Structure 1
Amino acid sequence: MRRLLRWIAGALAVLVAIPLILTPVYILVDPVSVPMLVRYLTGQRVEREWRDIADISDRLKASVVMSEDGQFCRHWGIDLGALRTEVEDLFAGRPTRGASTITMQVARNLFLWNDRSFIRKGLEIPLAVYIDLILSKERIMEIYLNIAEWGPDGEFGAAAGAQAAFGIAPQNLPWDRAALLVTALPNPHVRLPGNPGPNQRRIAGIVEERAREYGQRAACVSPSGTLAL
């Protein structure tokens, strides 16, 4: 029994040490996500071309923030207001939405798994706070834009997503295509920006409208402190 407990404790220590060690490394090293690793190990296609954040459209950055995490530039990795609402909805029996910030999504993609569970959510929260402490907002967004799954056949990152959907580079996205690309993020295997249905176009229209009006709320991801919208 003692040997088993030591083995479990050792395994937990390794699991804790991995993000603690790798997160500072990712200040300079461009990471690979867990979903990408799984596809590599199972022989599936992976298409990812890393792009510096300066080489990705500011319209896409604004659209991502306004769609995924409107408080990204203001919180410390987690949105306490959204989490509070999530807990209240859970105990009231109302549908929950996840309350995942962009930083929490980065934590999940780099270190955890995708199946929804309270255990995973509980791990995401301290990881997101740690990531926000170690990495700049600009770097967190750069990583997010390069590891998010953006297509149905192993396309990861904005460059592969924009190329697969529209045949263009991610720095050349006009407003309508930037917004359409963002609509794929919840489920890139079903929502295809290059061939959107009416509901997807409707959602993209809402994203575009919000990003045009409030896009400068994402200015923390720009070295200049402002976005060229």
Structure 2
Amino acid sequence: MTRSQLIKKKKRGRKIIKRKFINKIKMNEIILFENKDKVANESWLDYPRHVFDIPAPFTACIVGGKNMGKSTLIKNILSFTSIGRRPYEEAFLCHPDPESQEYDDVYFKRRFTHIPPLDIFDRKKKSILLIDDINVSKMNKTDAGHLNRLWGYVCSHRHVTCLLSTQCIKNVDDPTIRRMSDIFITGHLKDPMEIKTLANNLGRSASKITRLMDKHLKDNKHNCLIFDDLDNCPYPIRGIKNKKIIIIEKNKKKSNLYI
């Protein structure tokens, strides 16, 4: 056998995947591979959780008018996660006003006035990024690209929870952001187009969303609905009514969530 033939034979026999994955293959099954980037991803079924100890990572849009209590909701998520079994290790804030005191009672590792670069997140740490009062529709291309990647890749592969808080759902004109958000938290929307946009993203009828809002949100501007699309979520629709947590829709599967 010549040298060139030997080299070709070695190339043909080179393994591109570890043998342990293909030792036991059945003809009617596929091989399940573990995604190492997602090993640390949490689930509602990991342990008994408070309704605001939401399993990370997740992406969320919080929509509501002035004085709805959006920052209070965010602080509740941070607080109940902090007293849970797996608190966040790093927090980042993106806010257009660098002198804002709205979140002075929260420790952020860094604050930005624009969407931060994606390499600031340490994949070994559980992180959360809060984007508040940023108008997505008026972003430059660089920031818009970073935001898109946060929702599409960084969240699940670098264990980064992303929260986007805005006064109007029209400010989030990027369909990728709306469609890829796991959770929507909303106050009482009066604009039929906003309700229709929300319903389309949730895969629910606009009439049902309107009925829910009229029933639970009409009396108090601080009330809100939480639509949770995460896997195994015991309560896909819950909310805050008169400062108390309410359960609106239950998952038929058993859960160990507590309130």
What is the TM-score with the length of structure 1 in the denominator? Answer: 0.30
Task: Report which of the two structures shows the higher radius of gyration computed on alpha carbons.
Answer: 2
* Higher strand fraction (1 or 2): 2
TM-score, scaled to structure 2: 0.27
Structure number with higher relative contact order (C-alpha < 8 Å, ≥ 6 residues apart)? 1
